[in-house]
């Protein structure tokens, strides 16, 4: 199933926002949350195809909302290289994802320009920041560590380009 077959046939007939939520996997415990969200928006979950996560039940079928699977890209490229096509075909209003993908797509000039030209609202869902009691110390550690400097800068650029942030814990909300 491709994203164009999932798009509303007539935008005027539906006043519900079209939301694409990009995931690494469709965790069994997130299905009730997404099912409730799908009652209020036209929801499409994009998850990776062919992945295995220890201890996680990755729901492959029977979800009460639209789901498509995409191949993951190389470590130095977009996490899901086909995500922009999916966003276009689905005629998304909102693109929600995690830092594992957004730091790559939002720090890539061509990809970021394409997203902005589509008029999307970009939301970062996250739990990042919980590992440090003092966020400034965490930032400094990331900038000083040669192996982490590029990733830290890429994350800063990505966060500066996000329209909204969805934190799922008080600790994360305090961090951001």
The string of pLDDT tens digits covering residues 69-96 is 999 998 888 899 999 999 999 999 999 9
* pLDDT at 1 (0 to 100): 56
Alpha-carbon span 6 to 84, nearest angstrom: 15
For residues 120-133, give the mean pLDDT.
70
- Which of 10-19, 57-66, 78-87, 129-138 has the highest mean predicted lDDT (pLDDT)? 78-87
pLDDT of residue 131: 47
> Would you give the DSSP letter of residue 58?
B
Task: State how far the Cα of 49 lies from the Cα of 36, in Å rounded to an integer.
Answer: 24
pLDDT tens digits for 146-173?
777 777 777 777 888 889 888 766 666 6
| pLDDT attached to residue 175 | 59
**Long-range pairs for 73-82 at CB < 8 Å and ≥24 separation?**
77/104, 78/104, 78/105, 78/108, 78/111, 79/22, 79/104, 79/105, 80/22, 80/46, 80/48
Give the pLDDT score at 12: 47
Please give the structure tokens belonging to residue 50.
Answer: 């062919």
At 70 the three-state DSSP class reads: strand
CB atoms within 10 A of CB 175: 20
């Amino acid at each position: 199933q491709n994203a164009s077959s999932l798009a509303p046939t007539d935008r005027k007939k539906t006043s519900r926002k079209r939301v694409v939520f990009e995931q690494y996997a469709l965790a069994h415990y997130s299905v009730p949350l997404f099912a409730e969200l799908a009652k209020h928006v036209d929801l499409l979950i994009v998850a990776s195809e062919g992945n295995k996560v220890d201890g996680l039940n990755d729901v492959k079928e029977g979800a009460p909302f639209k789901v498509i699977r995409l191949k993951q890209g190389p470590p130095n490229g977009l996490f899901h290289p086909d995500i922009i096509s999916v966003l276009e075909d689905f005629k998304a209003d909102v693109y929600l994802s995690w830092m594992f993908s957004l730091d790559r797509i939002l720090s890539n000039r061509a990809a970021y320009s394409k997203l902005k030209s589509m008029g999307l609202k970009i939301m970062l869902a996250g739990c990042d920041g919980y590992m440090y009691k003092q966020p400034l110390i965490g930032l400094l550690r990331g900038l000083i560590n040669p192996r982490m400097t590029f990733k830290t800068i890429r994350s800063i650029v990505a966060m500066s380009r996000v329209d909204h942030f969805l934190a799922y814990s008080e600790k994360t909300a305090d961090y951001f």
